Amino acid sequence: MSKLDELITELCPEGVKYKKIKQVYKRLKGTPITAGKMKEIDNPNGEIRIFAGGKTVINAMEKDIPNANITRVPAVLVQSRGVIDAVYYDKPFTFKNEMWAYTADNEVAVKYLYYVLKSNLSYFRKAASGMGSLPQISLRVTEEFVIPVPPLPVQQEIVRILDNFTELTAELTAELTAELTARRKQYEYYRDLLLTMEDKPETKWMKLGEIADFRNGKGHEKAIAEDGKFIVVNSKFISTNGQVVKFTNQQISPLYIEDILIVMSDLPNGKALAKCFLVDENNRYTLNQRIGALRVKNKNIIDTKFLYYFLNRNRQLLKYDNGVDQTNLKKNEILSVNIPIIPLKEQKRIVAILDRFDALCNDLTTGLPAEIEARQKQYEYYRDKLLSFKEVTS
């Protein structure tokens, strides 16, 4: 039997009472401060941390903070607007008065609340939906939220376990992330080595327009539907490797397996311009008007996957990025890109190598990213399990 089991058996064998947060914790108020003032007083050497909406955090000198309401005890900050989250902080801090924080006489109880809130973020984020364009929750959502309140020694053991688990998870995640970064650098090195053809005299060159057909997408902004059947491919979708999706029921721009999609329009110095995406066997995609589609004319000349890898690494089109306003690539600019033509067998060899690297680095179901995600889910599972108690009503 673990120490936690022993404590529960000794101190609360029949269960624990559940109480509203406002019945157990003291609520703290923030400081009325504008975004402009925060920018003005931002000082990396400041002794006071200031939290604002979203992920905005600065340090400042206390003397520079007008009407400062400084929290000098450990507390849990409720980020209530934009980003819905909870932050534990045990050094002097303050926060924009649109947020709030909780503290208690015992530091263990404060850290316990932090873990309880983190365990229930899905509830708070669901409560924040439908509150306008920017997600936000009201004070009542946390004030009235009911939590288990076990005896302090039980809370202390739970905090100890989760602190250790958090540290171990963070260390492992950092190691896996470092490994992933190294693998990506290795991948980029070999990709560039394999796809650099300029110094090979035997390489023939053809214009993209000679080997591929091109067509534009059409607008879908007014046809977005949460329950739509088709994924709208836009610049953000491609730049995030398909992680940001919008749906529509209108496949205005039909696609085919092995179509290469290319971003034609992006903001100044954006990271998506000329990026590519390859349509796979799960073809549920349709284009918006800022995406073009390429289709190889003759696969005996060039392998589609080879062309995709070359275009995604190629920088020829970035010369059109003026860095001032939104860049819109023209069809003739895209089709004038020079493409290396090498023996088909060599193309397929290069593709096989890059496919292995790509799967290891980017596939969310295999490789290191999946391992990182699995470790996080494992942590969340045990955290939630530790914070589940039978309720006693008497």
Is the per-residue pLDDT at 277 higher than 60?
A: yes
Position 184 scores a pLDDT of 82
Mean pLDDT, residues 96-108: 94
Dihedrals φ, ψ of 170, to 5°? -65, -40
Band (pLDDT 50/70/90 cuts) for residue 95 is very high
d(CA 276, CA 200): 25
For the chain, counts of helices (H) and of strands (E): 13, 20
Is the per-residue pLDDT at 364 higher than 80?
A: no
Using left for φ > 0, alpha for ψ between -120 and 50, and beta otherwise, residue 229 falls in: alpha
Position 269 scores a pLDDT of 63
Instruction: Name the percent of the chain lying above pLDDT 70.
Output: 94
Position 124 scores a pLDDT of 93
Position 320 scores a pLDDT of 84
Mean pLDDT, residues 37-51: 94
Is the per-residue pLDDT at 190 higher than 60?
A: yes
- Least Cα distance to 35 among 72, 78, 77, 81 occurs for 81
Mean pLDDT, residues 55-80: 94
Mean pLDDT, residues 16-33: 95
Band (pLDDT 50/70/90 cuts) for residue 270 is low
Mean pLDDT, residues 22-37: 94
Q: In the beta sheet, which residues pair with residue 338?
A: 207
Is the per-residue pLDDT at 249 higher than 90?
A: no
Mean pLDDT, residues 243-270: 79
Band (pLDDT 50/70/90 cuts) for residue 1 is low
Position 394 scores a pLDDT of 67
Question: Mean pLDDT lowest for which of 35-49, 135-149, 228-242, 285-299?
Answer: 228-242
| Residue type at 130 in one-letter notation | G
Q: Between 171 and 371, whose confidence is greater?
A: 171
Averaging pLDDT over each range in 171-175, 222-226, 244-248, 346-350, which range is the top one? 346-350
Rounded to the nearest integer, the mean pLDDT of the chain is: 88
Mean pLDDT, residues 326-353: 92
Sign of CA dihedral 271, 275, 279, 280: negative
Mean pLDDT, residues 315-341: 87
Band (pLDDT 50/70/90 cuts) for residue 331 is very high
Position 76 scores a pLDDT of 97
Q: For strands 285-287 and 230-233, give the pairing.
A: parallel
Burial 206-232 (b: 16+ CB within 10 A, else e): eebbebbebeebeebeebeeeebebbb
Is the per-residue pLDDT at 240 higher than 80?
A: no
